[in-house]
Amino acid sequence: MPHQCTNCGRAFDDGSKEMLSGCPDCGGNKFQFRPDGVDSSNPPDPDAEPPEPPEPPGADSTVARTVGKTAATVRDIVGGNGGDDPSVGADHGAGSSTGTTGAEGTSPETDRNEAATRPEVEAQRTDTEDAAQASARADVVTPDELPQEPQTDAESEHRFRPVGADPDPPEEPEETERPDLKELREELNDQFESIKVLEPGQYELNLMELYDREEYIVALQEDGRYSIQVPESFRE
């Protein structure tokens, strides 16, 4: 139940379309992201708010915050070509059955790198995320856990372990074999964020995205959340 109405406390699945037209119960249009494992029936209480799941440092740190925002779009896109994309389904199955440890030391390093640098891979999964996936998503691989392959660059400490646990075949084949994924990535990169919070007080703005979106941001909060004004046409 990653999203919760801040007004009445109703919980929504990640990527739920119900939220887009405001809370069906109370009409509220402010929602907060609540990671798995939190009792979603509690009314919102800022003091009792759980910390966000750990995020990888660096440029990826805003990914989780924006996942909810883009999840619906992602699902539409994935849903559009998901039928002929076997790896997406396989990925989900593998993640839920083996959890976080299955991939250790078995997936090729290139695969690991790719997952770490591709926020949309995370976004895809939020749609059907279960506890194991959530945990996998939140975990950051430590240097000790890395396979024995030579890795000297400092960056490698910050990489994700892939969520998918299928031990043998690479979970993300070469781009040349998956033009649909490339398109998806480009599209997501284009639309991914309208405001990126580097840290409180430091923002990067995607002007085209701000211009293109129908709803608009009315209040930024210090932790990177923001309230949006839902257009009239969405409410009906």
The closest alpha carbon to 20, from 53, 54, 68, belongs to: 68
Q: Does the footprint of other proteins cover residue 131 (CB under 8 A)?
A: no
Figure out which of the listed residues 28, 206, 225, 230 binds other proteins, where binding follows CB under 8 A.
206
Binding segment for other proteins (CB under 8 A), chosen from 18-26, 30-38, 134-142, 206-214, is 206-214
- What DSSP line would sit under 210-229, residue for residue? HHH-SSEEEEE-TTS-EEEE
Figure out which of the listed residues 20, 26, 48, 218 binds other proteins, where binding follows CB under 8 A.
218
Q: Residue 45 or 232: which CB sits closer to other proteins?
A: 232
- Give the shortest CB-63-to-other proteins separation in angstroms: 19
Q: Residue 158 or 213: which CB sits closer to other proteins?
A: 213
Distance CA 54, CA 17 (A): 26
Distance CA 30, CA 16 (A): 14
Figure out which of the listed residues 59, 208, 223, 235 binds other proteins, where binding follows CB under 8 A.
208
**Contact of 230 with 22, CB cutoff 8 Å:** yes
Residue bearing tokens 């389904």: 89
Q: Residue 26 or 218: which CB sits closer to other proteins?
A: 218
Q: Which helix (H) or strand (E) holds 154?
A: none
Q: Residue 59 or 218: which CB sits closer to other proteins?
A: 218
Figure out which of the listed residues 39, 76, 155, 204 binds other proteins, where binding follows CB under 8 A.
204
Q: Does the footprint of other proteins cover residue 219 (CB under 8 A)?
A: yes
Q: Does the footprint of other proteins cover residue 217 (CB under 8 A)?
A: yes
The closest alpha carbon to 189, from 37, 73, 57, belongs to: 73
Residues present in the chain in total: 236
Distance CA 131, CA 116 (A): 20
Q: Tell me the backbone φ, ψ of residue 125, rounded to 5 degrees.
A: -80, -20
Q: Residue 15 or 224: which CB sits closer to other proteins?
A: 224
Which residues on adjacent β-strands are paired with residue 165? none
Figure out which of the listed residues 202, 232, 233, 236 binds other proteins, where binding follows CB under 8 A.
202
Question: E strands, 44-162, where?
Answer: none
Binding segment for other proteins (CB under 8 A), chosen from 4-12, 36-44, 55-63, 209-217, is 209-217
Distance CA 129, CA 106 (A): 23
Q: Residue 142 or 202: which CB sits closer to other proteins?
A: 202
User: Which chain residues interact with other proteins by CB under 8 A?
Assistant: 194-195, 200-208, 210-213, 216-220, 222
